[in-house]
Amino acid sequence: MSRPCIHPSILNADFANLQRELGRIRTADAVHVDVMDNHFVPNLTIGLPVVKSLRAATELPIDVHLMIEDPDVWAPQYAELGCESVTFHAEAAQAPIRLARELRAQGARSAMALKPATPIEPYLDMLGELDMLLLMTVEPGFGGQSFLDLILPKIRRARAAVDDLGGEIALQVDGGISAETIARAAEAGADTFVAGSAVYSAADPEAAIAELRALAG
């Protein structure tokens, strides 16, 4: 398994001062940007214009998580903006293999997310099309939720499938990741961790990142 990667989510940042907030996480491996459309999930956040501004405001890789309908239409546009990683939801994509290939063709890492109740087994044959698999450890749509331990067996199955494939596929978890939960997710096989309130609610976000990275290791 690769070195643990910490991707702070700006969903918990100060939206009135996003450039400053990006400067508080310079030691992160990437910045996680949640795009929600109030259709696929019951929340509305940001879209292409704001992400374009974020891309210009930081040298950190941008890991965009699209919790939206019609990702087949929208996801490639985020890759065109220069987002290094673009995640679409399996539950929303009409043609996930084609979409994954299109994202790679645009130069982005292709990533697919699964909600907590969505089984991984129907998607095992397409793992080779992905650079990252995201397993939601809360119901998508809002920050600050509690980590769902019932996802741990799913993380273990995903880890085994990724290892069997022998590829360099990151296994990301998102939701309720904190100093209290990250070790359990890492033990199950996750190697990439989205953390929102655990980072941005800390007095020193970069110290929080270092602590999470150490606990995951």
Question: Hey, which residues are catalytic here?
Answer: 34, 174
Please name which of 134, 133, 83 lies closest in space to residue 106, comparing C-alpha atoms: 83
Distance CA 86, CA 131 (A): 10
- Binding-site positions: 9, 32, 34, 65, 141-144, 174-176, 196-197
Our CA dihedral for 99, 100, 101, 106, rounded to 10 degrees, sits at 90
Known binding site for substrate: residues? 9, 65, 141-144, 174-176, 196-197
Q: Closest by alpha carbon to 132, among 152, 151, 113?
A: 113
Residue 72 near residue 93, CB atoms below 8 Å: yes
Written as one string, the DSSP assignment of 80-124 is: HTT-SEEEEETTT-SSHHHHHHHHHHTTSEEEEEE-TTS-SGGGG
User: What is the C-alpha to C-alpha distance for residues 69 and 66, in angstroms, rounded to an integer?
Assistant: 9
Q: Residues marked as binding for a divalent metal cation? A: 32, 34, 65, 174
